[in-house]
Amino acid sequence: MRIPVPPVPSKLIDVEVSDTTRRGALLAVLAPLLEDQEDGTAAEPLEIEGVRASGKAGDVQDVPGSRTRWLVGIGSGEPKNYRTAGAALVRAANAHFAAEAEAGEKPSRAVQVALPEEITADGVAELATGLLLGGYKFTVTADAPKASTRTVRLLTAYERAVPAYSEAVGRARILAESAALARDLANAPSNVKDPDWLATVAERVALTVPGLQATIRDENWLTEQGFGGVLAVGGGSASPPRLIELDYKPRGATKHLLFVGKGITFDTGGLSIKPADGMHMMRTDMAGGGAVIAAMRAIAALGLPVRVTALVPTAENHVSGSSYRPGDIVRHYGGKTAEIGNTDAEGRLVLADALVYGIKKFKPDAVIDVATLTGAMKVSLGLRIGGLFATDDELADRVRDAGERVGEAWWRMPLTEDYTDSIRGELGDVRQAVSGPGGIMAALFLREFVDGLPWAHLDIAGPARADRNYDDVVPGASGFAARTLVELAASYT
Q: For residue range 58-73, what is the model confidence (pLDDT) as tens digits?
A: 999 999 888 899 999 9
pLDDT tens digit sequence for 129-143: 999 999 999 988 888
Does the pLDDT value for residue 6 go beyond 90? no
pLDDT tens digit sequence for 390-411: 999 999 999 999 999 999 999 9
First to last CA, the chain: 46
Residues 6+ apart with CB under 8 A from 361: none
Q: What is the pLDDT of residue 3?
A: 63
Please tell me which residue in 91, 348, 431, 447 is annotated as part of the active site. 348
Confidence band, pLDDT 50/70/90 cuts, at residue 47: confident
Q: What is the pLDDT of residue 2?
A: 57
Q: How many angstroms separate the CA atoms of 33 and 116, rounded?
A: 13
Q: How many angstroms separate the CA atoms of 212 and 297, rounded?
A: 7
Which amino acid belongs to residue 291? A
Nearest of 205, 221, 264, 269 to residue 239 by alpha carbon:
264
Q: Is 274 a catalytic residue?
A: yes
**Taking phi first (over 0 means left), then psi (-120 to 50 degrees means alpha), and beta for anything else, what does residue 252 get?**
left
Does the pLDDT value for residue 46 go beyond 90? no
Residue 20's alpha-carbon distances to 23, 29, 148, 155, 162, in angstroms, are 10, 15, 23, 7, 11
Q: What angle, 0 to 180 degrees and rounded to 10, lies between the N-to-C axes of helices 287-302 and 482-490?
A: 40
Does the pLDDT value for residue 40 go beyond 80? no
Q: How many angstroms separate the CA atoms of 6 and 208, rounded?
A: 18
Does the pLDDT value for residue 80 go beyond 50? yes
Please tell me which residue in 274, 384, 405, 412 is annotated as part of the active site. 274
Q: Average pLDDT, stretch 43-62?
A: 87
Q: What is the pLDDT of residue 31?
A: 93
Confidence band, pLDDT 50/70/90 cuts, at residue 36: very low
DSSP result, 66-84: SSEEEEEE-TT--HHHHHH
Range in 9-18, 73-82, 366-375 the model is least confident about: 73-82
Kindly report each contact of residues 426-429 with a partner whose C-beta sits within 8 Å and lies 24 or more positions away, as own/partner: 426/339, 427/329, 427/339, 428/329, 428/330, 428/337, 428/338, 428/339, 429/336, 429/337, 429/338
Q: What is the pLDDT of residue 37?
A: 46
Does the pLDDT value for residue 286 go beyond 80? yes
Average pLDDT, the chain: 95
Nearest of 430, 433, 438 to residue 459 by alpha carbon:
438
pLDDT tens digit sequence for 194-236: 999 999 999 999 999 999 999 999 999 999 999 999 999 999 9
Would you tell me how many other CB atoms lie within 10 Å of the CB of residue 103? 8
Does the pLDDT value for residue 39 go beyond 70? no
